[in-house]
Structure 1
Amino acid sequence: MGAMPQSVAVRCPACSHEHQYAAVAYPCACGAPVAPPLDPRGVPVAVRHRAWAEEWVTVRCAACGRSGQWPRPELGCPCGTVLRIPVTGTLSSAGPAAAPPTPGARTPVPPRCRAPFVPVPIRTARDAVTAAALYLRWLGYRDIRRADQRPPAGIGLAAPGLLAQVDPTVRPASVRDVECLWLTAMAESARCVYFSLAGYATEGRVRADALGVPLFVLDLAGTPQPVNDHADALVSPAR
């Protein structure tokens, strides 16, 4: 991050309470920690409504030069206001240059070079989506975005060659949920993966095994746990 400070003072515009905020660092595919560069002169903005395009910032890894999409820094004030923390305009850190991946290409990282996954605690539905997106990035998928088609339940994520569904509800995913994801992925000639906060109905797990759909359960600590052999294979070094 060069000379950027590790933390900045943030004053809530609603109650004038002052906080000291430090950006959360996430692991790049190369294993190096990456955090959005904070703007100490910027003014925090209260989040009134959510838009997917505004939830992410582009940050360049100082170690390998990769640019990736990371969650935009936010802070919850005790008064109930959610503050969006300003970042610098360049959104990149100094570091050795590297050729970017070929657009549209999936470049999985060799497992021996993969750093341990750093989870994001899940308190909201947005946290569940963030945790799943970070996990897919950790697995080596790039250009993760909101899927074009909205699934019957939860949120759809897409990357080149992959379609994922994140279900943050308290209802176990059903056989219909699994089949709809699989059919949509088949139509797009992509593989698919399902993340659920409440687990899966027995029929859903059986159908996923038959269709080859990897199933993960999101624990509240934010670490996806594989629940079938297809999920184990997706995480396996031999995939």
Structure 2
Amino acid sequence: MGAMSESVPVRCPACRRGHRYAAPSYPCVCGAPVSPPLDRQGTATAVTHPAWEEQWVTVRCSSCGRGAQWPHPELGCPCGTTLRIAVAGDTATAGATTAGATATENIPAGETSAGPPSPAPLPTPSPRRAFQPVAIRTARDAVTATALYLRWLGYRDIRRADQRPPSGIGIAARGLLAQVDPTVRPASVRDVECLWLTAMTESSRCVYFSLAGYADDARARADGLGVPLFVLDPTGVPQPVNSPADELDASGA
């Protein structure tokens, strides 16, 4: 695999303009960047009725073998058409986009000898690597930035939430329910309470991400319920706005 994601020619089926597209890379939890392998023989299709299930593709890291869902590659044409780029295979296996990446989870086997085996060394905690955000320009980018951040915190199996929230977009991970609000209005106290109640019925923690911030009574209610609140800035870095969010950002999953 090459060290960088290779660009492919793309033609808009609506206006016939030609483009070049290179898939973005995303950080695997093992630290190796991966990117969806593009199908050079495939044809871009126009997105007319976006469906959540079609907006994600499973990419498997060739360094550690983990599979994770990332946004399906798309390109905006100047004519206004959104193009979905063809990906090689339904479940893609993407090589690390940096040379020399190797798996880091091999467990050394104990040596056998006449004497008792040596005790295995205790694992030493390693600091989290720096968070690598994606810039937010669309609602889709806000969901991607949130998913990246939750993986950075240590949450796994990120997927669409089973229940659609009254506003925004719901995503879930093991033991967590998150709401992403990409609208231009501050989140209301009702938004926070609905998220908390839904999480309670699922015995999960919850966290709220908003582009426009929160109404004063929503922040006060979140503090009382222990709901972490984050604001997504344009760079894609979630900013904690209350104490529960500060604690989650510091400790992780």
TM-score bracket for this pair, using the shorter chain length: 0.7 to 0.9
Code of the residue aligned with 1:172 in structure 2: it is P
2:184 paired residue among 162, 170, 174: 170
Aligned residue in 1 for 2:119 = none
Structure 2 counterparts to residues 31-180 of structure 1, below 5 A: 31-89=31-89, 90-93=91-94, 112=127, 114-180=128-194
**Conserved 8 A contact 2:9-2:18:** yes
Number of equivalences: 228
Q: Decide which moves more: 114-123 or 158-167.
A: 114-123
Aligned residue in 1 for 2:227 = 213
Code of the residue aligned with 1:34 in structure 2: it is V
User: Once the 2 structures are TM-superposed, how far is the Cα of residue 32 of structure 1 from its aligned partner?
Assistant: 1.4
Where does the alignment leave 5 or more consecutive residues of structure 2 unmatched? 97-101, 106-124
- State the Cα RMSD in Å: 2.2
SS, match of residue 92 in structure 2: coil
Q: Decide which moves more: 118-127 or 176-185.
A: 118-127
Aligned residue in 2 for 1:105 = none
Q: State the TM-score, normalizing by the size of structure 2.
A: 0.83
Code of the residue aligned with 2:247 in structure 1: it is A
Looking at CA atoms only, which structure, 1 or 2, has the larger radius of gyration? 2
Q: CA-to-partner distance for each residue in 1:14-39, whole Å, 9 max, x for gaps?
A: 22221111110011112211100111
Q: CA-to-partner distance for each residue in 1:180-229, whole Å, 9 max, x for gaps?
A: 11111111100000001110111111111111111000112222111111
Where does the alignment leave 5 or more consecutive residues of structure 1 unmatched? 100-109
Residue identity (%): 72
SS, match of residue 93 in structure 2: coil
**Conserved 8 A contact 2:154-2:252:** no
Aligned residue in 2 for 1:102 = none
**Conserved 8 A contact 2:74-2:83:** yes
User: Once the 2 structures are TM-superposed, how far is the Cα of residue 123 of structure 1 from its aligned partner?
Assistant: 2.1
Q: State the TM-score, normalizing by the size of structure 1.
A: 0.88
Name segments (4+ residues, structure 1) moved above 6 Å.
95-99
Q: CA-to-partner distance for each residue in 1:110-167, whole Å, 9 max, x for gaps?
A: 661x332222222222222222122112222122111121212211111111001111
